[in-house]
Amino acid sequence: MNLMDATFKRLREEKKTALIPFLTVGDPDVETTVDIIRELEEAGADMLELGVPYSDPLADGPVIQRASERALQNRITIRTCLEAADKAREAGVRMPFILFTYYNPVLQMGMETFFAALQEHGISGIIIPDLPVEEAEELGRQAEQADVNLVPLVAPTSDTRIERIVRNARGFIYCVSSLGVTGERASFFEGVEQFIERVKRHTDLPVAVGFGISNGEQVKRFSRICDGVVVGSAIVRQVEEAIPLLDDPSRRKKGLLQIRSFVAQLRA
Ligand SMILES: O=P(O)(O)OC[C@@H](O)[C@@H](O)c1c[nH]c2ccccc12
């Protein structure tokens, strides 16, 4: 059991749903990312997806694509993301970190090096959206040895493959609420709750939902049936809109508070 598992256990005892933000590391810069991580925890985040910016974010909508472009100007790599995690720990942040990366940067780093680095930096989980299912088994084994949870994504179209996808999962199951790319959504398809219930029948692990969730109403709706709710684009947009404040030392605190209050109202 690692910090992520212990956190889900505590939240279940408290009958609370985990609020799981996603942030692109290095947007607008690493120091600001560390400051934002602290604000997110203060605002009630329970664990955090640390996004490794990537040049070809196929599954991402415009908000996160723009964040990746800004972050890539700072040449952010998996290693810089792990260093940012360390800096957040040094700043007193205690929540579990989930490294979110496309598969290519992992292949470039090499599996052994990648998992050794995750272990060294105390990363509790990884999400790799474009990980081929046939490679998930081997990667799951290496993750298990490093005490890192390989969190699988299950899409509404995964139907017959849900069983196979969740079989060697650890940590939690990430139900993708909608088809298409990430990005705030005003509504979700009719059967989204039934889809989540179907996934829950195939696993004893906590089940979280993400994609499109952008306000307190939607968080509340999914908190009724999920152990976790992921919010990415809506928060990344807050970061984007706050950049002029964050870049101005005299208004930086105001920018950070703007992001914090957005996340706090998601929880309310
Ligand atoms: O941005 P949204 O719509 O709130 O969705 C969460 C999402 O940002 C995060 O989990 C994520 C970022 N990039 C992804 C690519 C695929 C699946 C999930 C993701």
- Compute, in angstroms, the gap from residue 51 CA to the centroid of ligand 1: 9
Q: Could you give the residue numbers annotated as active site?
A: 49, 60
Q: Give the span between the Cα atoms of 111 and 143, in whole angstroms.
A: 10
Sheet holding 18-24, edge to edge: 149-150, 125-127, 97-100, 48-51, 18-24, 228-231, 207-210, 173-176, 153-154
Q: Give the span between the Cα atoms of 248 and 75, in whole angstroms.
A: 22
E strand segments, 52-185:
97-100, 125-127, 149-150, 153-154, 173-176
Q: What is the pLDDT of residue 154?
A: 96
Q: Which two tokens stand for residue 165?
A: 């996808």
236 CA: nearest ligand 1 atom: 1
Ligand 1 contact, 5 CB (< 6 A): no
Q: What is the pLDDT of residue 249?
A: 97
Q: What is the pLDDT of residue 118?
A: 98
- Compute, in angstroms, the gap from residue 190 CA to the centroid of ligand 1: 20
Ligand 1 contact, 233 CB (< 6 A): yes
DSSP state of 152: P
Report yes or no: 149 and 97 within 8 Å, Cβ to Cβ.
no
Report yes or no: 175 and 158 within 8 Å, Cβ to Cβ.
no
Q: What are phi and psi of 95, to 5 degrees?
A: -70, 155
Q: What is the pLDDT of residue 248?
A: 98
Ligand 1 contact, 102 CB (< 6 A): no
- Compute, in angstroms, the gap from residue 8 CA to the centroid of ligand 1: 20
153 CA: nearest ligand 1 atom: 17
Per-residue pLDDT tens digits for 68-103: 999 999 999 999 999 999 999 999 999 999 999 999
Neighbours of 157 (CB within 10 A): 10
Percent of the chain that is helix, strand, coil (3-state, to 5): 50, 15, 35
Q: Give the span between the Cα atoms of 113 and 134, in whole angstroms.
A: 21
Q: What are phi and psi of 12, to 5 degrees?
A: -65, -40
Ligand 1 contact, 19 CB (< 6 A): no
- Model's pTM, two decimal places? 0.98
Residues of the chain predicted below pLDDT 70: none
Q: What are phi and psi of 194, to 5 degrees?
A: -65, -40
Note the ipTM here: 0.99
Chain Cα centroid distance, residue 45:
11
Per-residue pLDDT tens digits for 217-242: 999 999 999 999 999 999 999 999 99
Q: What is the pLDDT of residue 268?
A: 77
- Compute, in angstroms, the gap from residue 100 CA to the centroid of ligand 1: 9
Ligand 1 contact, 25 CB (< 6 A): no
